[in-house]
């Protein structure tokens, strides 16, 4: 099978800042036609979104898909709850891990894989304030080293 092209639509950088991402999963999204057209134009945001498992099904809340301009009556609510499509075994495994204290599901990115819209969700554990400070210090140190390296090349 050929390699399918992946086109990134929305990215959730805040998730990496607020959480330790333990594991990543790929899921399809149940969308309507005008929503797909709007996403194809890049009108999607997952900054405030979160994922929940209810009755053996996975849902994404707070994912904003702007209404399609030419969609008129066929447009849906931009913030409606959308069902994520995953294998039953994966859902059970995730549900068991979420039952542990401190774990949650966070959407990381929305992208096209071929002609299908996919969501990458991460099994995440919340960071404490000191963890965030430590990460920022590491990032600053790495940036400083790169800056020194560039100056030495000149």
Name the token pair of 127. Answer: 């960071």
CA distance 127 to 138: 15
pLDDT number for residue 74: 66
The torsion defined by the Cα of 121, 124, 128 and 131, in degrees rounded to 10, comes to: -80
Instruction: Tell me the pairing of strands 64-65 and 116-126.
Output: unpaired
CA distance 5 to 98: 31
Mean pLDDT, contiguous 10-residue spans, the chain (154 residues): 74 85 90 82 85 89 82 72 90 87 87 88 83 83 84 74
pLDDT number for residue 87: 92
SS (HEC) of the chain = CCCCCEEEEEECHHHHHHEEEEEEEEEEECCCHHHHHHHHCCCEECCCCEEEEECCEEEEECCEECCCCCCHHHCCCCCCCEEEECCHHHHHHHHHHHCCCCEEEEEEEEEEECCEEEEEEEEEEECCHHHHHHHHHHHHHHHHHHHHHHHHHC
Q: Is the pTM of this model over 0.85?
A: no
pLDDT number for residue 3: 62
pLDDT number for residue 103: 87
CA distance 131 to 87: 33
CA distance 55 to 53: 7
pLDDT number for residue 89: 92
Residue with tokens 């090349």: 153
Reported CATH class of domain 6-127 = mainly beta
Domain residue spans of the chain:
6-127
> For residues 27 and 51, is the Cβ–Cβ distance under 8 A?
no
């Amino acid at each position: 099978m050929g390699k399918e092209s992946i086109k990134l639509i929305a990215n959730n950088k805040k998730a990496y800042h607020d959480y330790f991402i333990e594991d990543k999963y790929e899921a399809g999204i149940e969308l309507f036609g005008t929503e797909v057209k709007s996403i194809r134009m890049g009108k999607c945001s997952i900054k405030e979104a979160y994922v929940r498992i209810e009755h053996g099904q996975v849902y994404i809340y707070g994912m904003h898909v702007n209404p399609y301009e030419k969609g008129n009556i066929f447009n849906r609510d931009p913030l409606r709850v959308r069902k994520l499509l995953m294998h039953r075994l994966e859902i059970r495994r995730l549900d068991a891990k979420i039952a542990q204290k401190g774990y949650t599901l966070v959407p990381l990115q929305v992208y096209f894989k071929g002609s299908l819209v996919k969501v990458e969700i991460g099994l995440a554990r919340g960071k404490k304030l000191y963890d965030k400070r430590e990460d920022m210090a590491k990032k600053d140190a790495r940036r400083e080293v790169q800056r020194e390296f560039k100056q030495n090349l000149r």
